[in-house]
Structure 1
Amino acid sequence: MARKLLALLPLLVAAYARSINEESKHWGVIVAGSNGWFNYRHQADACHAYQILRKNGIPEERIITMMYDDIANNRENPTPGKIINRPDGPDVYHGVKIDYREEEVNPENFLKVLKGDKEGMVGIGNGRVLESGPNDHVFVNFVDHGAPGIIAFGSKFLHASDLHHTILKMNEEQRYGQMVIYVEACESGSMFDKNLLPKDINVFATTAANAHESSYACYMDKERKTFLGDVYSVRWMEDSDKEDLSTETLTKQFEIVRRETNTSHVMEFGNLTMGSIDVAEFQGKNTEMHIFDKQPIPNPNLDAVPSEDVEMNILQLKVQLAESDWERELVSQKLEDLKITRRRTEETFKHIMALSVNNNKDLVYDLMTERLPLLAHDCYKPVTEYLRTNCPGLNLVKNDYAPRHLYTFVNLCEHQTPQEAIMGAIDKTAEDTDLC
């Protein structure tokens, strides 16, 4: 009898493993945090990601989508109701079920969705949240602007420390078995760098850039006069479109995307042993051919530009394509205004830096040139939020150029500059100049 039980043991173990696997479900959370025609590419990326999950068999009731939804029917869209993610590409907007729109797309709601806080989302959008459990696989894709320790949501910031605490809470409450996070944003590596993503909680993350560099927009479209995608996002999605995801591992996809993205350094964080898991375990297991499979894909690196230069490039294109002197003059003025805004942005940060350190010129130089790693989150978060709310003239979240200067606030905090001194410098800048 004992021998028979021993002989059956491997079969029982295999049966148990199969039952666990059958019980696991796939969940997706897709977020495009920005709005406005200049940011067309972010919602195009998000819609494409949605199509990949759906084509691979993840049901719409287990995909939660947050996007402002002001692109498909924008007055500047020459193909109303449609969004494309590459030149001459198919419509990726059709069929996308959007759960949260406009101002509902914010950091607080995103974190509530991840934590499964149904009560906190009552009366907001359709109230859907992650209802994943300890055996489930969760895929999160975020696309927007970024800065050190920050990813942007329309008019607000999500700080790395808050995302860190949310992931730890999800782990503690067993809201996933394994989770994968793909982030498209400038300096996105800073969201997980320096142990912000522990290696022992079954979370694997990749980012478009390291902690100090821009991510890149691609596929400038002359008809739409905007960029259609972002290099990192396009690379992973075009790979997912053509591969059998049941035979491609997370590490293989990461290596392909890293090799084919020559505009920034694609990074990986967290539990890297998860890299041996098939991509299908997070993006879905359907192996049917996809909508992009048989079409040649243009190289997104060829016309790529840093995210903060997107608006400048779009306005320059509009000047070239202007059909009348009046139109050319109007767009040229917008371009000149943007250049002025960028100069004023630099002046604002330099002014605040100088006041924060009592006009110590040598220290100001260091603060404007160093790139220190962000460790002092307890200082950095409150002073950046104070800048966002108390220097409205800077228009910190909407001014794509401004967040790229927040490294100076990292430097202030890492130099142990008192928060009160930094906030006082912001106040004085607002009082004594027209910069804020």
Structure 2
Amino acid sequence: MSDPASVLSSRRLRIGVLILLLLLIGALCYLSWQSAQPYRIGVLLPASGDDDSDYYDTLDWAVEGLNREGVGRRVELVPVDTAEVPLQIASKQLIDDPTIRVVIGPAASDEAFLIAPDFIKAKKLLITPSATSGDLLRMFSRFGYIWRTTTGDRAQTRIIMTILKERGVRSAALLYEESTYGKTFRDWAAFYAIESEIELTSAVPFERGGDLRETVAAACLLDPEYIIVVARGSDAALVLRIMEEEGCSTRLIFTDAVRTDTFLEAAGDLAEGAEGVSPTADRKTGFFVAYKAHFGRMPDDYAAHTYDSLILAVAALARMEAAPSESPAQAMKAVVSGQDGSFGWDSQGAAAAIRQIRSGRLPDLTGASGPLEYHRDLPGEPLVTWYVNWRVEEGYFRPNTYIPGSFGEKRAVEVPDSQDEGGSTFVRDEGKELRAVLVTTSSDWDNYRHQADVAYLYSLLLKNGVRQENIIVISQEDIPHSVMNPSLGHLYHRAGGENIYIPATVTDTAITSDAFVSFLLGESSPEIPLILETDEKSNLLLYISGHGGPGFLEFPDDDHLTSSRFQETIQRMAEEKRFSRMLIVVEACFGESMGIGLDVPGVVFMTGASYHEPSRGAEYDITLRQWLSNDFSMSLTDSIVQYPDQTLRGLYEMTYDRVSGSHPRIIAGNANDLNIPIAEFFAA
């Protein structure tokens, strides 16, 4: 007779084994089911209109090839035609789909700016083949979720200026669409014009789809040799028609958005001879040959980059499968940093590389446009993109010259010739007291960075021992208390940094240029009910942050302070012995225009942008959706903190090298003024 306990134990063992077998079978079934699930990739691209660039034909071709060769799972696109479906609705649909972790698109920079924060918060990858705004990656690269396969338009701007320089061109104007796309060309045209020794006669914006007659006339006004036209196909065709009607013979060079069938159809015979610059593939990859063999036509500008977006998307998904502990951002960074062997870009090579990634290896990815190599310090930004200088001949875009373009290059530090190293050694005078006046001439939420720069400099001076009563802050200080501010009473200079807001002098009403001039001359006013108490023993720091134009600083309500009036005021302050030494720092677009011609002993003028250039924001916060600083001011204060013992000359040279996108300038009453230690103006 069997022992009941033994029987029970045996039965439990059999049940346990059965459960384990069922669990094992279930796990195997799940793994089999999971491995059978496709790599689903969302697509947010247009299938018609000015922004259509044969995206879907290229993607379908790439998917067909990968599925034919096999990458371990079937690749499946989830497309949404953004020409038909509102972008934010389409974007939310793909973000809310848990089976989609990577999305290709959108086509335009304005669209990318709109949805990028949502993808970052959702921790999903967004790979755009054609959103090339210079600010896109400056804003979002640090998160690792926003990528593109074409270098930003900074490179395209440099190439256009290089082409003009090689032709011996001495003057050019810019006619640009007032959008995120056009903004990059506006921001960089003056910079590269200076680098190329070309005079930028004007930069004229226009509204997309509007009447361009007045803007074309404005661009032609100073008779430039060339006009750089940043426009979509239909607007570009209208520019040609207006030029023809007005008899303007100025030559045109177009940017990449023109190279579409829309332009050829709208311009008709006027398109013949039109030329421009567009991104393209490296001819050595063989993409052109393969594309034409498959489609019977040459590819559009962004075909190779669209193909590469698909390769990156599938490679990232394969890496997520091989390394599930990594975030999608980490997976993508790993994919583009691989050095373990190399494969071609075609379906056979790309599929082999993706299978390697799925197995845990990291090959060196190659794309249809060229090597898929990215900046280490700016994740998401390609190192190199090839461009083509094309011309319309017999109704077709014919390639002329192929040129490699990169994100940017260092330029030599240029201290103006008049500011040589001559002059005696600086001797610090005893008994001098520092006074500081920090001014922001703007208000409202969109000007967050101006008040943040003032607040940060204020806090820096206090940390450096300057007494609070020796600092006057002229600002409405409405940003910390704005209804738009999710952290009332807070102001930030770095994303994720500490609150730098210290309540200071507040002007309840908008200041005027008259009130500001009166203040500098020792008089109070209702707008600035303060007295600047300085004398011949005072070292005076005057920092101004706001908007500017060629020859003026903007004040509220269309009030301007002209450069001539500003300089007359400084000259009068000197005559009235209101300072011993004075450092003027202007953070504004076209800032140099306020200082050109200023020749007052003991006065040094510094600014972040030349006469022709805009200044640029720095440190973007995706929660606030605002720039937290200006590039020049951040570079300046960082240099002061890191090297407090340097001279004004050293500060200028260091800041010049750090600023990206403009040419800082310095003007001094005499060369020896540049030998003054910065502590004279930034520390007690």
Does TM-score exceed 0.5, indicating one fold? yes
Q: Which amino acid aligns with 1:128?
A: L
Please tell me whether residue 203 in structure 1 is matched to residue 603 in structure 2: yes
Q: How does 1:77-226 map to 2 (within 5 A)?
A: 77-94=485-502, 96-103=503-510, 105-117=511-523, 120-121=524-525, 123-125=526-528, 127-155=529-557, 156-193=559-596, 195=597, 197-198=598-599, 200-226=600-626
Contact between 1:112 and 1:129, CA under 8 Å: does it hold in 2?
Answer: no
Find the aligned partners of 1:138 and 1:101 in 2 and give their Cα distance: 25
Find the aligned partners of 1:101 and 1:153 in 2 and give their Cα distance: 15
Contact between 1:187 and 1:211, CA under 8 Å: does it hold in 2?
Answer: yes
Structure 2: gaps of 5 or more residues? 1-426
Q: How does 1:271-420 map to 2 (within 5 A)?
A: 271=669, 272-285=671-684
Please tell me whether residue 241 in structure 1 is matched to residue 644 in structure 2: no
Q: CA deviation at 1:52?
A: 1.4
Counterpart secondary structure, 1:48: helix
Please tell me whether residue 257 in structure 1 is matched to residue 664 in structure 2: no
Contact between 2:541 and 2:582, CA under 8 Å: does it hold in 1?
Answer: yes
The equivalent of 1:232 in structure 2 is 632
Please tell me whether residue 67 in structure 1 is matched to residue 465 in structure 2: no
Which of the numbers 449, 455, 458 marks the counterpart of 1:47? 455
Q: CA deviation at 1:99?
A: 4.1
Q: CA deviation at 1:153?
A: 1.6
Contact between 2:474 and 2:507, CA under 8 Å: does it hold in 1?
Answer: yes
The equivalent of 1:21 in structure 2 is 430
Counterpart secondary structure, 1:179: strand
Find the aligned partners of 2:651 and 2:619 in 1 and give their Cα distance: 22
Structure 1: gaps of 5 or more residues? 1-16, 286-436
Identity %: 29
CA RMSD in angstroms comes to 1.6
TM-score w.r.t. the length of structure 2 is 0.36
Contact between 2:440 and 2:454, CA under 8 Å: does it hold in 1?
Answer: yes
Contact between 1:52 and 1:240, CA under 8 Å: does it hold in 2?
Answer: no
Contact between 1:28 and 1:62, CA under 8 Å: does it hold in 2?
Answer: yes
Q: Deviations over 1:304-359 (max 9, x none)?
A: xxxxxxxxxxxxxxxxxxxxxxxxxxxxxxxxxxxxxxxxxxxxxxxxxxxxxxxx
Q: CA deviation at 1:87?
A: 1.2
Higher helix share: 1
Q: CA deviation at 1:150?
A: 0.6
Q: CA deviation at 1:226?
A: 1.0
Residues 101, 46 of structure 1: alpha-carbon distance in 2 compared, 3 angstrom cutoff? farther
Q: CA deviation at 1:261?
A: 0.5
Find the aligned partners of 1:106 and 1:62 in 2 and give their Cα distance: 23
TM-score w.r.t. the length of structure 1 is 0.57
Q: Deviations over 1:5-60 (max 9, x none)?
A: xxxxxxxxxxxx98x612x1100010111111111000000111111111112212
Counterpart secondary structure, 1:142: strand
Q: CA deviation at 1:241?
A: 2.5
Q: CA deviation at 1:182?
A: 0.6
Q: CA deviation at 1:172?
A: 0.3
Find the aligned partners of 1:237 and 1:109 in 2 and give their Cα distance: 28
Residues 90, 241 of structure 1: alpha-carbon distance in 2 compared, 3 angstrom cutoff? farther
Q: Deviations over 1:214-267 (max 9, x none)?
A: 100122211001111100011111222333x2x211111111110000210000
Contact between 1:69 and 1:102, CA under 8 Å: does it hold in 2?
Answer: no
Counterpart secondary structure, 1:102: coil
Q: Which amino acid aligns with 1:283?
A: F
Q: CA deviation at 1:83?
A: 0.3
Residues 274, 36 of structure 1: alpha-carbon distance in 2 compared, 3 angstrom cutoff? same
Contact between 2:512 and 2:527, CA under 8 Å: does it hold in 1?
Answer: no
Counterpart secondary structure, 2:569: helix
- Larger-Rg structure: 2
Q: Which runs of at least 4 in structure 1 moved beyond 6 Å after TM superposition? A: none
